[in-house]
Amino acid sequence: MLVLRIISLFTISSSCAMRKLPIFHDIQLNKMLINNSSFTNKKPMNDIDNYNSTLTAHETKILYKTFIPFLLNTSTWLLQNAQNNIIKNYDLSTREIKDIELAFAANKYQYQIILKNNLQSMMKNIKYNSPEVFLLDFTDFSNYLIQTIIQNNLHNVKGKLLISSKWNKHLLKYTIVRQQAKIVMNIMEVSICHKFSICVPKSEYSEYMVEWLRHLMNVGDVKLKEFINMIPQMLDKHMHTIKTNVKFHQKSKDLGKADFAYQRSFIDFIDEVITEQDIMKVVPHQLKKYVILLKKLFILIEQNYDLNTENVKEMDDLNKKFWLWTESENIEIVEVLEKILENMLRNVQIWPKDAQSKLENIWLKIVIL
């Protein structure tokens, strides 16, 4: 039970953004990545009896035997996953891919060294009144370290990484870091939820949407295409309920025919509209009208969607099925999407009439753009 209590508070962090890092995270990560020789004389990981911590010996041993191995294994996999995503998903040249592979190979094991030794430092030099606070800090540090390694590995890569996309004004390398950091946070949280059955309660509908979008950022090309192609099919099936026009319908089909890098950028664009307050500063002028309308749409949904007990239970179940689909389980994504749509349409029917009118008005403006 202590392990569950420890991990449950770790999962408090938001699925939409990384928690603000504690003050002890203000360290020279770049320097550590270049030269970690200063860590070689540290105590071994199993020497825990003399640490100056208010954690009990029993709690400390549980940290090492249960949560730390889980975090280390999951984070190491996430670092490799980020490398694979970067190589496969951004339409890079052979030379750019080679440079990235060399950069990741150079510090593949530095992550574990830095993480383990910072664990020792935290337990030796900082007093924690509870294992919950410790795990929050340590997991934040792990996520932050992965992001920093990814950023460092892309630092000297030239070519396409120094060009901005049509979706925002940032250079591609910064877009890559941001997208992969989102994936890391999402998978870490979902893995805890499904491994230990302890999940972060969602207080807004958009939090479900963000989780789905970040799953899509991480799936392979086949599953991504499968999902994108479901959109026009669902519009056809529900055209009596979801008002569209020929132009909007064609755009949805064109998205299915676009290259995978474009499709992933589109998904990230929707994620940014939901989660990034300052998105208007970075999107090109021609996309600002879409941002304004989409933000109005999501705000209206947040104000009116009823996350009652029944809806939460249904949405959590759909969340799990969506995740299982990404994991190649025997799940039909069309059935999941149908249930998500049915849930929303059923919920809209009990909204106040003026909210229903606003929803229709905003949606029609989006359709005709």
One domain for residues 188 and 258:
no
pLDDT of residue 346: 93
Helices and strands in the chain, H and E counts: 16, 0
Which secondary structure element, helix H or strand E, spans residue 177, and what is its range? helix 172-196
Let me know if residue 210 belongs to a domain.
Answer: no
Instruction: Give yes or no for residue 198 having a pLDDT over 80.
Output: no
**283-298: per-residue pLDDT in tens?**
999 999 999 999 999 9
Q: Residue 164: beta bridge partners? A: 171
One domain for residues 160 and 126:
yes
One domain for residues 337 and 307:
yes
State the Rg of the chain over Cα.
22
90 contacts 55 by C-beta, under 8 angstroms: no
316 contacts 212 by C-beta, under 8 angstroms: no
One domain for residues 68 and 116:
yes
Final residue in a domain of this structure, among 196, 229, 247: 196
CA angle 74/77/80 to nearest 5° reads 155
Handedness of CA 164, 97, 88, 33 (dihedral sign): negative
One domain for residues 191 and 334:
no
Let me know if residue 35 belongs to a domain.
Answer: yes
Instruction: Give yes or no for residue 3 having a pLDDT over 90.
Output: no
One domain for residues 161 and 24:
yes
Let me know if residue 155 belongs to a domain.
Answer: yes
Handedness of CA 286, 289, 291, 292 (dihedral sign): positive
Instruction: Give yes or no for residue 10 having a pLDDT over 60.
Output: no
Instruction: Give yes or no for residue 9 having a pLDDT over 80.
Output: no
pLDDT of residue 22: 30
Final residue in a domain of this structure, among 196, 229, 251: 196
pLDDT of residue 121: 72
Which secondary structure element, helix H or strand E, spans residue 58, and what is its range? helix 57-62
Let me know if residue 208 belongs to a domain.
Answer: no
One domain for residues 150 and 249:
no
Final residue in a domain of this structure, among 144, 167, 196: 196
Instruction: Give yes or no for residue 156 having a pLDDT over 70.
Output: yes
pLDDT of residue 242: 84
d(CA 317, CA 296): 27
pLDDT of residue 125: 59
One domain for residues 175 and 222:
no
d(CA 24, CA 363): 46
Let me know if residue 158 belongs to a domain.
Answer: yes
pLDDT of residue 312: 93
Let me know if residue 207 belongs to a domain.
Answer: no
Q: In whole numbers, what is the pLDDT of the chain averaged over residues? A: 80
Over residues 145-165, the mean pLDDT reads: 91
Q: Residue 111's closest CA among 103, 158, 177?
A: 103
One domain for residues 157 and 269:
no
Instruction: Give yes or no for residue 302 having a pLDDT over 70.
Output: yes
Instruction: Give yes or no for residue 175 having a pLDDT over 90.
Output: yes
Please tell me the total count of domains within the chain: 2
pLDDT of residue 272: 96
**218-277: per-residue pLDDT in tens?**
999 999 999 999 988 888 888 778 888 888 888 999 999 999 989 999 999 999 999 998
pLDDT of residue 25: 30
Instruction: Give yes or no for residue 2 having a pLDDT over 80.
Output: no
Let me know if residue 30 belongs to a domain.
Answer: yes
φ/ψ region of 352 (left if φ > 0, alpha if ψ in -120 to 50, else beta) reads beta
pLDDT of residue 23: 27
Instruction: Give yes or no for residue 358 having a pLDDT over 50.
Output: yes
pLDDT of residue 183: 96
Over residues 61-74, the mean pLDDT reads: 76
Which one is predicted more confidently, 44 or 357?
357
Q: Where are the beta strands (DSSP E) in 142-189?
A: none
One domain for residues 183 and 224:
no
One domain for residues 170 and 31:
yes
CA atoms within 13 A on the CB side of 264: 27
Mention every residue, 6+ apart, whose C-beta is less than 8 A from residue 229.
256
- Domain containing residue 227: 217-368
Q: Residue 338's closest CA among 258, 244, 230, 248?
A: 230
Instruction: Give yes or no for residue 168 having a pLDDT over 80.
Output: yes
Let me know if residue 201 belongs to a domain.
Answer: no
Residue 128, phi then psi, degrees to nearest 5: -115, 130
φ/ψ region of 49 (left if φ > 0, alpha if ψ in -120 to 50, else beta) reads alpha
pLDDT of residue 20: 34
Token pair, residue 78, equals 């996430």
One domain for residues 174 and 251:
no
**200-232: per-residue pLDDT in tens?**
789 999 999 999 999 999 999 999 999 999 988
pLDDT of residue 64: 67
Which one is predicted more confidently, 139 or 182?
182
**106-154: per-residue pLDDT in tens?**
776 777 788 777 777 766 655 666 665 666 677 778 888 899 999 999 9
